[in-house]
Amino acid sequence: MAIESLRAEARVLNLRLDFLPIEHDKSIPKDLAFERTLLVTDVILPSSLSSQGRNVSFAEAILRPTSVLNPFLAPAPVAKVSSPKVVNTEERGFRGPRRKLVAVTACPTGIAHTFMAAEALKNQAQKMDIEIHVETQGNVGAKSLLTFAQIKEADAVIIAADTAVDLARFAGKILYRTNTGTALEKAAMVIEAALYSGLAHSSAALSSPSAQHSASPSTRAVPSGKHSGPYQHLLTGVSYMLPLVVAGGLAIALSFVFGIEAFKVSGSLASALMQIGGGAAFKLIVPVLAGYIAFSIADRPGLAPGLIGGWLAAEAGAGFLGGIIAGLLAGYSALLIRDRITLPQTLAGLMPILIIPLFASLITGLLMIYVVATPMKGVMDALTAGLLGLSGANAILLGALLGAMMGFDLGGPTNKAAYAFTVGLLSSNTFGPMAAAMAGGMTPALGVSFACFVARQKFSTEERQAGKTAGILGLCFISEGAIPFAARDPFRVIPANVMGSALAGALSMYFGCTIRVPHGGVFVFGIPNAVENLPMYLVSIAAGTLLTGLIIAIVFKKSVPILEDVLQ
């Protein structure tokens, strides 16, 4: 695309343009007129490819061909007799109008995509000679918090998030929104788009550090075009719900160490652990899910109505499906009240702390009690009974479907939908689908790691090293370790991932495996009673890993030297 863009613009400018592709490890011919040379690359190259000409990125050549070629309209200077000056690699890179960026990355689980997207943006910005500061909003809280000075000096802001992110700090800044998957796989495109196609955030500009710090780094609802909507709000609720599921599930599993029915002995440690896990943590799962769905939609005024609606759903037995409906009702009713009710300026302060929470809570609560709760309880009872009663072909089919969804897009919408569904079932004490989903999610990264081991000749040194890392991530139930391989050869790797994950999920359901926690991988296998039928669960994961690994080893294309375009 860069060549076509420059060639078309050269015809308009009546400028002769010759193209010379050179491999990244070769030297530029010494007889070139360096003052008339244009180097187009997205990486920092060795000094053998340095020149005294202009150096731009592929994206700039595509987006701004006129400004790229304008400097060459002047008469060519007389070539110097001396050897060409070697330009420091730090002086090369992007020559755009802005050179400073800030970014925020966030994903529902806050474990893999959040940090991998941040690393991809940092690495690409370094290659393009752009200063960038990235704040990660992971499951343990925000890290590398952006300062007021960094935001003020930034020429653009990148929001790479799969959940709602508070934008108050970035009022008045050029803003570009995307998801973590795009930032991870197409970091260069995201950076260029932020610099050239971002839109100014419509809120009033911030003027002081105190104003900037008044906005917490927590995830909150802000309209975000195609990246917003009920699905994103659901993922935000799931991200806040996960710690409760993990803590509650492990507490229940630990209570079983003393015996399956030891918790029935009043005053015993097993009873206390069961009370912590089942009596407290699991009872909060649905209210927190609903509360933070509403929080994502309507900010803080939606939190109280969402929590109330979620509690009513849990008490009525409507489960996580009732909680989702309660959160959506609370959030959108809070927005409706905010937009439709106007108070005098002297009473405006009552809206977020009194008017919206009160009336949204009443609307949500009454609808849950009289309209939603009873039908949703029937749906959840039927769903739970159906899942618990699955056997034979039906169980295998469900496991294969969940596994295939987990292995399809490695943290994308399909993967997250399957994961959110199985996590929600944990609150109803349905543990089999969670085991199938975890097995399916571990398989892709373990599979590519196995392929790198059995077919070493097909992978470069860097890919084999990435395969080792993917294996470790796979053991931790972080399927994103397979993303670099899927990105390089998607039409071969993705089907292999899907088939292996489907096999792992199907076998897990067939063998009746269950797991009580939604994350952790092999680290939860050693906890007594956390996994039921552990030996066959390991067999399921191993079978899926072998299938994925062998398919990739057979069909994966052997690595070839990477060529970079060098334009004269």
Q: Which two tokens stand for residue 272?
A: 């206390």
CB neighbour list of residue 119: distance below 8 Å, 6 or more residues apart? none
Do 292 and 240 form a contact (C-beta atoms < 8 A)? yes
What backbone phi and psi angles, to 5 degrees, belong to 46?
-65, 165
Instruction: Supply the DSSP symbol for 354.
Output: I
The CA distance from 45 to 129, in Å, is: 12
Annotated catalytic residue 107: yes
What backbone phi and psi angles, to 5 degrees, belong to 57?
-90, 160
Using alpha carbons, select from 158, 157, 160, 159 the residue that is nearest to residue 180. 160
Do 54 and 71 form a contact (C-beta atoms < 8 A)? yes
AA identity, residue 298: A
The single residue listed with the structure tokens 């092999």 is 522
Candidates 107, 452, 476, 513; catalytic one: 107
The CA distance from 340 to 296, in Å, is: 20
The CA distance from 32 to 47, in Å, is: 16
Q: Which two tokens stand for residue 382?
A: 């039927």
Opening angle at CA 237, ends 234 and 242, nearest 5: 120
Instruction: Supply the DSSP symbol for 216.
Output: -
Active site residues: 107
